[in-house]
Amino acid sequence: MKKYLVLLAILLIFASNNYIFAQSQTNEQNAYTVHYYTEDNGLPQNSVKNISADSEGFIWLTTETGLVRFDGKNFFTFDKSNLPITYNRFSMLQPSLEGGDKNKKSRKLYAVAEGYQFVRIEAGKATMDSVYTNRIRSIPHLKKSGENVLMSNGAPNYLRDWLNPDYYVIAVPEGEGNFFICERQKIEYYSNWKKKYDYTFKTPLPWNFFTIRKSLYAYTNNEFTRIDKSGLTDLSVTGDLVTDHNYVPGKQNGKIYWNNISDQVFLYLEKNLYALKEVPGDKFKTTLLIKDFDFVKNNITSIHYDTANRRFFLGSVTKGLFVLKNKSFYTLRTSGNNLENVFYGQAIFDSNSVITPKGYILGKSLKSSKINLKNFPLIHSEKSADGYGILSDRKGNIWRKSGDVVFCYNIQGKKIIGEWDLKTEVNHLYEGDDGTIWIGTRSSGLFYINLSDPKPTPRQFIKGPLDRISFVLQKTPQTLVIGTAHGLFFLNLSSKKLVFIKGTENFYIRSLYISQITPAGKNPDEKEIWITTYEDGFFLFSKNKLIKFPLDKHKYLSGTHCIFLDKLGYFWLTTNKGLFRIAKKDLLDYAGSHFANENKSIFSLHFTKEQGFYTNEFNGGCQPCALRLPNGYVSLPSLDGLVWFIPENIKSELPEKNIILDRYEVRGKSIAASGDSIIFPLNPQQIKIYLTTAYFGNPANLNISYALLENPQSKTMPDEWLDLDGTNTTIPIGSLTAGNYTLFIRKSNGFGKDNYTYKKISIIVPPDWYETKWFRVAALLVFMLAVYLFIRLRLRIIKKENRLLEIKIARRTRKLEHTFSALEKSERELHRQMHIQTRLIASMSHDIKTPLKFVSNAAGRIEDMLDNEKIDAVVKLGKTIEHSTDQMYNLLENLIAYVKTQVYGSKIEFEETNLFTSLSDKFEIFEHVIRERSNQFSNEVDTLVNVVTNAQLLGIIVHNLIDNANKFSFNADIKIRTAIIDAKIHLIISDSGPGMPDELVNWLNTSSKTDSFEKAKLFSIHYNGLGLTIVKELSMLLKLNLLVEKNQGTLVHLIFP
């Protein structure tokens, strides 16, 4: 019992003088990340025999199915489809024997296809080089067929189990024509293709030879030997290898890995890889590069080490390509579940450790990769810790919050100094320059407490609009900068005056960082205030101006949790999508010309969990949001552990390599590009242009854009650019019309103002035959000719149409004239008919009414005469009445026949008629009338004369002519006779009377029907009769020519046709 009491006392003493920790443990993380590539994700085949890099940074791999180029994102295979080689199998890579330093950009290397076909690798491209092939064959023994000769491809050689060459040629990657020929008994050295010396060196196998620069070494029997013209020199081993517990002096230790292209030598021993470097004193210094990676299990046969970026490329003959990258970041985790590894607030515990609000103490020293984990009992035992608020003050006291309560612990960790309930939710804890602890609340403003007070207790400093306080920093001794969920405020500690920064009213302030303006102005209190927000990006408030910075292309920086500055002048920003590094100078340059360069971008280097995080999602909402430890580490809270790193030690892997025009594609056919110009075939369609650049960092850091301009001015740069995805640098164009184009390519090289690489690619699309200048000239001429011909043709058509129109108008005019003529004729005919009707009425009144009156009166007297028995007088009167009625009958018959022809248009029938016979009846009618006028009538018509006519109408004509001659003659001779004059039959009616008036003669001799009608109207009125009118018109109907002569009377000739 006494022994236990003593032990308890010892423990109490220990507890009173030391920290009490629980669950103290350590763990160690891998120092590298591994990416694994096979035929499933890019390689054409899984057997990688050799690896090296060219001057443009591309990694080249030889495989069984082609030569492979790796740009960090994509693999491209060169084989028979794009190279004039016989077989796709590539056996090795060789340095160029044409001179050139491996560090110069002009350096070339060669891939050897089966059958010793050499493919030149230069500036990111692979081309067949038959000239070099012939030059290599000039090496002794290689030109002799049948000799057992092998060119070295580094070590270990994958052919060592199948071949045992008599001659082993080792090319030296420096100088012109430098190489070794290793035989079983001696070694020969050639420089500038000439043998310089040889040295006797017996070795059964050549596999352990290697070179560093121009020196040849051998590793046999656990000894390193340098071989040169002065002899053999043994080298001892120093460095990390000798501390390896698997290393046994005097025993064969490990395997040599030698990259004859990269001029790199490594020694592998029990899953550890060491670099070999000769140092003064004939020693090889060894440096541990890779720890605990099984080369044997993974069949690794080739290594290339990118020393600048600490990246390994390991080729396996069965498992493809491994890419190992040394981690620059470490993640510290507890042994608890995932929720216990979600971190927010943290405070410095000692130079190598931080403490969290839940009492975890996590740390790591600079000398070890081991992570230390402890517990702080007083805090860890608390179940109410919220994880957000904790700080360690200048005296080493630890402050934390939980809900409404603030706790303070002394540095020894054995007691609580104070516990205060503010009755309002506490958001943030911050220590001012004078040691005052400022307490930001959610709804009650700002409180403060100072342990130097006699009775320290939190007091409300200001309430006002300060709610939901999210961050507090001291700008000057009299000014606090306070971030809230609704903007940024400046608080004057003397006057308690609160100034709101306009433009921030909608910002949820996530974190603040204050830096001194350089160079300092007149006001030393003037500072740069860097602001990060929850959703609106990050800003700078300086000289009363608020400047918003452009976001990254994925807009991850829109929600920035934290911002802090390292010692090299770079800002680091945490987001939910990783960690960003931005040069402060670039931000200030942008801010200085912000209003003139709002479309400018700022380069940001993006780090993700591939660099060593367990998650890309960092946490914020705590103060401090980033913690710098005395040992140089920065600790960042994340959703899975604390991320530790030394910012100044982080190598910025920048996309600085050149842009290569690799190939282009037209209608699905791929064509290798030569130089920086492209000549497309006619009418190119489905155009794609493939660019490439070597970059093995985060593809998000590769910012390439392009612009295509047609016939740009020589000094023209595009105003607008189209961005390419960093993982796919293919430019889809589609189709182009004939012409000259310039494709502008722009790539950001990293930090710095306007730090771009530009490339111009000339593109020529030849014109089709119909797009050439001569065709256009010809087409123009043809067009002008066509226009001329068209105009002429149009004029002809117009003229023809005019003629047709004129004809049509003439026809219509004629038709109109005919219509008018017909109308006139109709009018005349109407007038004529009216006239005829009038004359008929007059004739009937004169020639019929009067005789009828006479007959009526005579008939009335008959009764009286019979009563008086005047029989003779009655007889005489009856004869007179008979004669009168016969006259009226003949007159009516003639009138009716005339009217039928004139009014009803009766068809006239012609027939052969004997003039004498047909007219004799007419003569008897006039016998009594002629006697009354004391006239003598004689018929001298030839009884043999026949004519073709209408006898009735001819009788009317003759009747009217005899009647007219009888009316106007007294005691005269009236004759009718026939005569043959000018072979025509004339029927002549003559009288010896006073003669017909001249105007009647002229009218009857006029052949115009119109004139005859017009005159007829006048004459019929003047001479009170229709007789001559009937004569003239019937003569026309019977086609008789009418001729009237005056010769001691009147002679009327009816001339038969």
- Spatial strand order of the sheet with 50-53 comes to 50-53, 59-63, 66-70, 75-78
CA distance to 356, 375, 431, per residue, from 395 (Å): 18, 21, 11
pLDDT confidence band for 1 (50 / 70 / 90) = very low
61: tokens are 């791999």
Model pLDDT for residues 267-294, shown as the tens digit of each residue: 999 999 999 999 999 999 999 999 999 9
| pLDDT beyond 80 at 37 | yes
Q: What is the pLDDT of residue 832?
A: 61
The contacts of residue 198 (CB under 8 Å, 6+ apart) are 186, 187, 188, 189
**Average pLDDT over all residues of the chain:** 84
Exposure of 921 by Cβ count < 10 A (0-12 exposed, 13-18 middle, 19+ buried)?
exposed
Q: What is the pLDDT of residue 898?
A: 59
Nearest Cα to Cα of residue 1012 among 839, 843, 832: 832
- Spatial strand order of the sheet with 605-607 comes to 560-565, 570-575, 578-583, 605-607
Q: What is the pLDDT of residue 963?
A: 80
Nearest Cα to Cα of residue 258 among 273, 272, 271, 247: 273
352 secondary structure, DSSP code: T
Q: What is the pLDDT of residue 695?
A: 95
Euclidean distance between CA atoms 877 and 858, whole angstroms? 7
Tell me what the mean pLDDT of segment 609-620 comes to.
90
Nearest Cα to Cα of residue 866 among 879, 875, 857: 875
Which has the higher per-residue pLDDT, 538 or 908?
A: 538
Q: What is the pLDDT of residue 904?
A: 47
Contact in structure between 697 and 750 (CB atoms under 8 Å): no
In the chain, what percentage of residues exceed pLDDT 70?
86
Model pLDDT for residues 677-712, shown as the tens digit of each residue: 999 998 999 999 999 999 999 999 999 999 999 887
611: tokens are 């660099």
What does the angle CA 978 – CA 983 – CA 985 come to, to the nearest 5 degrees? 25
pLDDT confidence band for 1017 (50 / 70 / 90) = low
pTM of the model: 0.72
Q: What is the pLDDT of residue 1036?
A: 82
CA distance to 569, 604, 606, 722, 926, per residue, from 748 (Å): 20, 10, 14, 13, 139
Euclidean distance between CA atoms 273 and 313, whole angstroms? 13
Model pLDDT for residues 171-203, shown as the tens digit of each residue: 988 888 899 998 888 899 999 889 998 888 877
Q: Among the ranges 223-227, 865-869, 907-911, which has the highest mean pLDDT value? A: 223-227
In one letter, which amino acid is 416?
Answer: I
Question: Based on C-alpha coordinates, what's the Rg of the chain?
Answer: 67
Euclidean distance between CA atoms 305 and 833, whole angstroms? 133
Buried b (16+ CB within 10 A) or exposed e, 534-573: bebbbbbbbeeebbbbbbbeeebbbbbbbbbbbeeebbbb
- Spatial strand order of the sheet with 353-355 comes to 22-28, 370-375, 360-364, 353-355, 347-350
Exposure of 367 by Cβ count < 10 A (0-12 exposed, 13-18 middle, 19+ buried)?
exposed
Nearest Cα to Cα of residue 1024 among 974, 969, 967: 967
First to last CA, the chain: 185
Tell me what the mean pLDDT of segment 439-445 comes to.
94
Which has the higher per-residue pLDDT, 511 or 929?
A: 511
Model pLDDT for residues 478-505, shown as the tens digit of each residue: 999 999 999 999 999 999 999 999 999 9
Tell me what the mean pLDDT of segment 212-240 comes to.
88
Q: What is the pLDDT of residue 757?
A: 92
| pLDDT beyond 60 at 1021 | no
Q: CA 623: distance to chain centroid?
A: 48
Region for 270 from its dihedrals, namely left if φ exceeds 0, alpha if ψ lies in -120 to 50, beta otherwise: left
pLDDT confidence band for 67 (50 / 70 / 90) = very high
381 secondary structure, DSSP code: T
- Beta-bridged to residue 548, according to DSSP, are 539
Element (H, E) at 939: strand 936-940
Q: What is the pLDDT of residue 902?
A: 55
pLDDT confidence band for 20 (50 / 70 / 90) = very low
CA distance to 853, 881, 884, 892, per residue, from 849 (Å): 6, 14, 11, 12
| pLDDT beyond 50 at 15 | no
> Most distant CA pair in the chain: distance in Å?
219
Q: What is the pLDDT of residue 1019?
A: 58
Model pLDDT for residues 627-671, shown as the tens digit of each residue: 999 999 999 999 999 999 999 999 999 999 999 999 999 999 999
pLDDT confidence band for 597 (50 / 70 / 90) = low
| pLDDT beyond 80 at 521 | no
Euclidean distance between CA atoms 763 and 956, whole angstroms? 110
Tell me what the mean pLDDT of segment 341-354 comes to.
93
Q: Do the strands 570-575 and 149-151 form a parallel or antiparallel pair, or are they unpaired?
A: unpaired
Nearest Cα to Cα of residue 544 among 576, 515, 501, 575: 501
Q: What is the pLDDT of residue 22?
A: 37
Contact in structure between 473 and 480 (CB atoms under 8 Å): yes
Domains of the chain: 34-326 (2.130.10), 660-771 (2.60.40.10), 908-1055 (3.30.565.10)
Least confident residue range of 129-133, 818-822, 1045-1049? 818-822
CA distance to 8, 15, 298, per residue, from 1 (Å): 11, 21, 61
Which has the higher per-residue pLDDT, 237 or 146?
A: 237
- Beta-bridged to residue 168, according to DSSP, are 150, 182
Strands (E), 463-504: 469-476, 479-484, 487-492, 498-500
Element (H, E) at 1053: strand 1050-1055
Euclidean distance between CA atoms 727 and 750, whole angstroms? 17
Least confident residue range of 328-332, 339-343, 523-527, 934-938? 523-527
Which has the higher per-residue pLDDT, 1030 or 350?
A: 350
Helix 773-843 to helix 1009-1022 angle (10° resolution) is 30
Exposure of 803 by Cβ count < 10 A (0-12 exposed, 13-18 middle, 19+ buried)?
exposed
